């Protein structure tokens, strides 16, 4: 009994050009700092998507309550669009879905987004729901492992939605380098996966994780009175470099594989230096991480939704053969690394 990714659906809010964000908003608020300008220019981001662009509405002084109201207004229609696209691509009706899992670290309410979507999608009354919150950028992979367990055990299709509206958490502009990096990187997106038993383009084979509690302070996502505040230390690539090769090689070895045998890499683009570190530590050719760099250029870092965007880009741009191994990798607070192994499936939809 196996579980497979049968379809991916995405929904994106309006686009905002990186150069416009710097020229028309952040430059003045950062006193024209050349160092800040270099951070924006070197972030690897060309454009992003935002439900609330600072060019139209500066939320940096909004309370957390005000930001949560904006989340409530924008999350359901965006999530509905992504799930609907994925179900349509998979040839499924909402009533066939046995479980809906929603991942988000950028907004909360009760009843939550999972309940709202169960109603708007018209899921079956007995459809199970799971809401995964505040895990951060790596959350898609442990959530996918849980969805895979459901599909394998119950032999029913399930949907995983990752929805992040990071634009709602822009902080007041200061010369704090970590905040400037955050302002230069993050964007909004909704991505949905349909997981089915024995049918789909990627078989989910195994997932593993590594957490380094000694480095917990290097990446945080803290609830404050003015939204959620990100800290992203310059040491993150270095810490990840200590763990990722062993984590990847261990997972592959458990499944009779080595790094050179992997035919596709879907790596969360937390920033250019993180991708450089992954490439260096694993000895990958530059083209191996092009799907990740493409997503970073076109969407920025969209937290948990990003690795699914990369996986979608990989499937579109890479000629995979039946049985080819594919690895997805994402990082986040903890400091945590998750790795998932897939195999391209003979009976791809």
Active site residues: 137
For 21-31, give one letter per residue: b (16+ CB within 10 A) or e: bbeebbbebbe
Strand partners, 3: 197
For residue 211, give every residue at least 6 positions away whose Cβ sits within 8 Å of its Cβ, in sequence order, or none.
334, 335, 336, 337
Radius of gyration of the chain from its Cα atoms, rounded to whole angstroms: 19
Rounded Cα distance, 169 and 68, in Å: 10
Nearest to 255 by CA among 293, 205, 329: 205
Q: Are 103 and 163 in contact (CB under 8 A)?
A: yes
Task: Determine the Cα–Cα distance for residues 97 and 93; give it in Å rounded to an integer.
Answer: 7
DSSP state of 46: S
Gap between the Cα atoms of 290 and 280, Å rounded: 14
The closest of 101, 197, 189 to 141, measured between CA atoms, is 101
The DSSP symbol for 23 reads I
């Amino acid at each position: 009994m196996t579980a497979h990714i049968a379809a991916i659906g995405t929904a994106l809010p309006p686009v905002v050009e990186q150069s416009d964000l710097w020229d028309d908003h952040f430059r003045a608020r950062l006193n024209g700092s050349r160092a800040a300008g270099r951070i924006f220019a070197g972030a690897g981001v060309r454009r992003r998507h935002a439900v609330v662009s600072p060019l139209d509405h500066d939320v940096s002084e909004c309370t957390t309550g005000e930001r949560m109201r904006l989340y409530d207004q924008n999350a359901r229609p965006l999530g509905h669009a992504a799930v609907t696209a994925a179900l349509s691509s998979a040839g499924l009706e909402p009533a066939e879905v046995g479980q809906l899992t929603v991942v988000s670290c950028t907004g909360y309410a009760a009843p939550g987004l999972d309940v709202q979507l169960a109603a708007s999608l018209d899921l079956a009354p007995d459809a199970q729901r799971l809401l995964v919150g505040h895990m951060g950028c790596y959350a898609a992979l442990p959530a996918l492992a849980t969805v895979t367990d459901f599909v394998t055990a119950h032999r029913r299709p399930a949907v995983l939605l990752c929805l992040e509206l990071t634009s709602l958490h822009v902080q007041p502009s200061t010369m704090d380098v970590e905040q400037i990096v955050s302002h230069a990187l993050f964007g909004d997106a909704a991505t949905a996966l349909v997981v089915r038993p024995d049918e789909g383009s990627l078989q989910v084979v195994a997932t593993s994780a590594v957490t380094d509690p000694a480095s917990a302070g290097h990446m945080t996502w803290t609830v404050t009175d003015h939204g959620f505040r990100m800290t992203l230390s310059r040491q993150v690539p270095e810490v990840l470099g200590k763990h990722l090769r062993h984590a990847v090689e261990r997972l592959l070895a458990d499944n009779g594989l080595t790094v050179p045998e992997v035919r596709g890499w879907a790596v969360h683009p937390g920033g250019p230096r993180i991708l450089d570190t992954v490439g260096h530590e694993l000895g990958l050719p530059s083209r191996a991480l092009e799907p990740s760099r493409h997503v970073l250029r076109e969407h920025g870092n969209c937290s948990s939704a990003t690795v699914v965007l990369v996986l979608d880009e990989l499937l579109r741009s890479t000629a995979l053969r039946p049985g080819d191994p594919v690895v997805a990798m994402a990082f986040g607070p903890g400091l945590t690394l998750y790795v998932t192994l897939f195999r391209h499936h003979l009976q791809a939809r």
